[in-house]
Amino acid sequence: FGHLPLLEVDGRVLPTAYAINRYLAKKFGFAGASLLEAMWVDALADLQQDYFNLINPLYPVILGFVKGDLEQMQKDIAIP
C-alpha cells in the first residue's frame, strides 16, 4: 500500500501492521486455541489500535513538530 511496515513471505508482500501481527500470531500459535480465544486476541489488538488512534494528536507535540500544551493534552486525551 506504499508505506511501512511490510512483511515479505515467500516473495509475497503483506502490508499493514495489524495484518502482519495477526499473520505472525497465527503462524507462531499466539492467535488463540479456540474461536473464543481468537476473538479476545483480536479484541485486544483492536483496543490497542483504538488507543493509538485516540492519542495520535499527542505525537507531533511530543516530538516538537507542533506547539501545544502537552501537559493539558495528556490530561485531556491520554489519561482518560
Q: What is the pLDDT along the chain (80 residues), one digit of tens a residue?
A: 888 999 999 999 999 988 899 999 999 999 999 999 999 999 998 998 899 899 999 999 999 999 999 999 999 988 88
- Interval 27-43: pLDDT, tens: 999 999 999 999 999 99
Q: How high is the pLDDT of residue 2?
A: 83
Say if residues 21 and 45 touch (Cβ distance below 8 Å). yes
Count of alpha carbons within 13 Å of 74, Cβ hemisphere only? Answer: 5
Q: How high is the pLDDT of residue 18?
A: 87
Break the chain down into helix, strand, coil percent, rounded to 5. Answer: 60, 10, 30
